[in-house]
Amino acid sequence: MVSTAVSAPGKVLLAGGYLVLDRAYTGLVFGLSARIHVLVHDIDASSGVELSEIVVQSPQFLEATWNYGYHLNGDDGGVNVTQLQGNHETPSSRNPFVETALLYTLTYISTILPKSHTIRPAKITILADNDYYSHSSSSAPPPTPKDGSHHHFTSFNVRLQDAHKTGLGSSAALVTAFTGALLSHYLPPTSFSLSSASGRAKLHNLAQAAHCAAQGKVGSGFDVAAAVFGTCVYRRFSPSILSRIGEAETPGFATRVKSVVEDSGAEKWDTEVSKGGVTIPSGMALVMCDVDCGSQTVGMVKKVLEWRKSDGVGSKVLWDELQERNVALGRTLDVGDVGKLEDAFGGIREKIREMGEKSGVPIEPVEQTELLDAVTKGVEGVKGGVVPGAGGYDAIVLLVKDDEDTLEAIKTFLVKWSEEKKSNVKLLGAKGELEGAKKEDIAAYGIFA
């Protein structure tokens, strides 16, 4: 019986919010130590019994088990994935990210395995590091690790759809880890290996395709790129690359998926991912603060793009200036010039606020401005920060001195701030890290292994 484990990191778009939607600009995206973990286990079918079922569970949440049947379509239509209904007491919810990733990945796998080789039934376990969700008072503390487990996973005591996300990119990390785990589990190392450049490229292409299909639109893809490659400077791909895949299960779907994954089609992937010269200065850490409010990112993006369309000249000037400041921040981080970081962050925030005023979108809301200014000035060791990504009320990210005194001072500051402002801001445990998706030791998951 074979078992496989793969994890992928969350993300924080430190610089390049909104700009990253346009190929003319880049984003500076950092991977995070908070990861989504996916474990795949073969199911031991009784002798002579053939199963075509994959069971997916997320044990940290209530009612989070999904059963899927699968079979190969005719006419090169790929793999059909059908959710099997639970009992009447607990009707099954849908999980479009899991279901779509399963369909796309099994379809690609079916084009690689010999026709005589069937896809084995499996049980898949999804585990999220604790920082992906805001903890309620009913969240159970992580169980004491057993059997050599190195991980602590909180039981959140809510249904997945009722959990409060902290904005770390859970869907992209999930799709990437899920896809990578299935590819690693079912394909021989000669066809796919996460440790090779070609393997990571295939994972990136397939995860982008599945993630875009699951969310019903072609996004910029920086979150998936961070989940695959880790910290990087990212330039988005042309949306037309994925549009040619067409609808799932239609004739020729499997061949089109394979062409996109292996970059063998007429239109080549034009994503640019640069790992060189992107780092965190020695002795520093990138940390996140959860504000536990949440923002409607889709609506915010729509309004910013409407403003950009209505003021083509003015918006281009602003975006060009913001791009220059973003690139300058990257250079400052790379050379480790800590003394210039506060000004570098301040310059970016100035342009972000200007974009917010002109578009009528709270990209850096007044409350976040006050918080960022106060924590930067009030806590020694904080060198600056921003409202990352699309902005709003989700979170703030800070670059800080990486020592216990500074982290404790930030926690103390945020407790006092939350009491005074009647808010709920707290420091998350996640820190910026450089590594992307990776295979894990299944034994490290103890009771889940």
pLDDT at 47: 52
Evaluate if residue 144 carries a pLDDT over 50.
no
- Verify that 427 and 442 share a domain, yes or no: no
Mean pLDDT of 5-11: 97
- Here the tokens at position 19 are 């700009």
- Verify that 270 and 362 share a domain, yes or no: no
pLDDT tens digits, one per residue of 370-401: 999 999 999 999 999 999 999 988 789 999 99
Tell me the one-letter amino acid at 377. K
Beta carbons of 182 and 40 less than 8 angstroms apart: yes
Q: pTM of this prediction?
A: 0.93
Beta carbons of 418 and 124 less than 8 angstroms apart: no
Evaluate if residue 142 carries a pLDDT over 60.
no
Evaluate if residue 147 carries a pLDDT over 80.
no
Distance CA 367, CA 370 (A): 5
Percent of the chain's residues with pLDDT above 90: 78
Phi, psi at 438, each rounded to 5°? -155, 155
Evaluate if residue 4 carries a pLDDT over 60.
yes
- Here the tokens at position 16 are 């390049």
Beta carbons of 440 and 7 less than 8 angstroms apart: yes
- The dihedral built from the CA positions of residue 365, 341, 33 and 416, taken in this order, carries a sign that is negative
Give bridge partners of residue 55 from the DSSP assignment: 67, 123
- Verify that 7 and 51 share a domain, yes or no: yes
- Verify that 429 and 393 share a domain, yes or no: yes
Confidence of residue 166 (pLDDT cuts 50, 70, 90): confident
- Verify that 320 and 256 share a domain, yes or no: no
Site of tokens 């796919």: 192
- Verify that 11 and 143 share a domain, yes or no: yes
- Verify that 292 and 218 share a domain, yes or no: no
Mean pLDDT of 288-300: 74
- Verify that 259 and 293 share a domain, yes or no: no
Task: Give the list of residues 6+ apart from residue 311 with CB closer than 8 angstroms, or none.
Answer: 358
Confidence of residue 276 (pLDDT cuts 50, 70, 90): confident
User: What rounded mean pLDDT belongs to the chain?
Assistant: 91
Distance CA 321, CA 209 (A): 32
Distance CA 415, CA 426 (A): 7
- Verify that 206 and 249 share a domain, yes or no: yes
pLDDT at 228: 98
- Verify that 425 and 442 share a domain, yes or no: no
Percent of the chain's residues with pLDDT above 70: 92
Distance CA 220, CA 13 (A): 12
pLDDT tens digits, one per residue of 39-74: 999 987 655 556 689 999 999 999 999 999 999 999
Domain total of the chain: 2
Evaluate if residue 5 carries a pLDDT over 90.
yes
Q: What is the CATH number of the domain that holds 182?
A: 3.30.230.10
Mean pLDDT of 5-24: 96
- Here the tokens at position 172 are 């992209």
- Between 437 and 84, name the one with better pLDDT: 437
Q: What is the CATH number of the domain that holds 389?
A: 3.30.70.890
pLDDT at 150: 59
- Please give the residue range of the domain that contains residue 344: 284-433
pLDDT at 435: 95
CB neighbourhood size of 85 (10 A) = 9
Of 429, 352, 268, 439, the residue nearest 15 (C-alpha): 352
Evaluate if residue 306 carries a pLDDT over 90.
yes
- Verify that 147 and 225 share a domain, yes or no: yes
- Verify that 233 and 340 share a domain, yes or no: no
